[in-house]
Copies of this chain bind each other. A is one copy, B any other.
């Protein structure tokens, strides 16, 4: 299953406008403007002007929030998105309720307090983002993320991503879970991508632990004895 581009010329558009470049522009712009987000429960709110609105949209970070304000556009960033801009791209500062900028450690502890498996999810998120995959929440497909080759306006998401941690016993525990998930992914033309995050004994005390984590990726796909023989004659395929 290759990428499903949205309409003719979408692949050429994507090729001419690499995601790495867009994210790079966003990074410079946020850095220049000393962008400041603020914690708000399980998300981070960020107010930006027109240029950055466009860059955030093109780079596919957060979702715009409609407000009455005319000169500012508010974006709601997910925990992983916000931490990626802060910790990996270092182009965003985030303030807490006390209006003081949180350092990396405080932010990490806050994220963890809001989401138990944040360290694993963030490792998975940043692992793919750094390789220019665009990630969006996968909730509507019952998975953790969906991954796009480029902006969702140009291409459908190719992968339904599930993040598994060491000792994770809640999901994909029995084969029925696998088949259920694979079938669901198949019905929406996505490939199931499992990212298994191994902390390698490094816990999650501070963000620098992330460097010691490793990620193993595998795809799981339905297989059919007939379809895998389409190089042969119909009778050889058992189709009679």
- Indicate if A193 sits at the interface (CB-CB under 8 A): yes
| A179 B196 Cβ-Cβ under 8 A | yes
Residues of B within 8 A of A232 (CB): 14-15, 18, 132, 149
When all copies of this chain in the complex are counted, the total is 2
Classify chain A's interface size: 35 or more
Give the segment of A34-42, A56-64, A99-107, A217-225 that binds chain B. Answer: A217-225
Shortest CB–CB separation between residue A15 and chain B, in angstroms? 7
Q: Please pick, from B3, B127, B196, the residue contacting A175 in the complex, using a CB distance under 8 A.
A: B196
| B235 A20 Cβ-Cβ under 8 A | yes
Contact pattern, A 223-240, Cβ under 8 Å of B = 1, otherwise 0: 111100101110111100
Q: Please pick, from B19, B178, B225, the residue contacting A236 in the complex, using a CB distance under 8 A.
A: B19
| B218 A178 Cβ-Cβ under 8 A | yes
Cα distance, A133 to B236, chains bound together (Å): 10
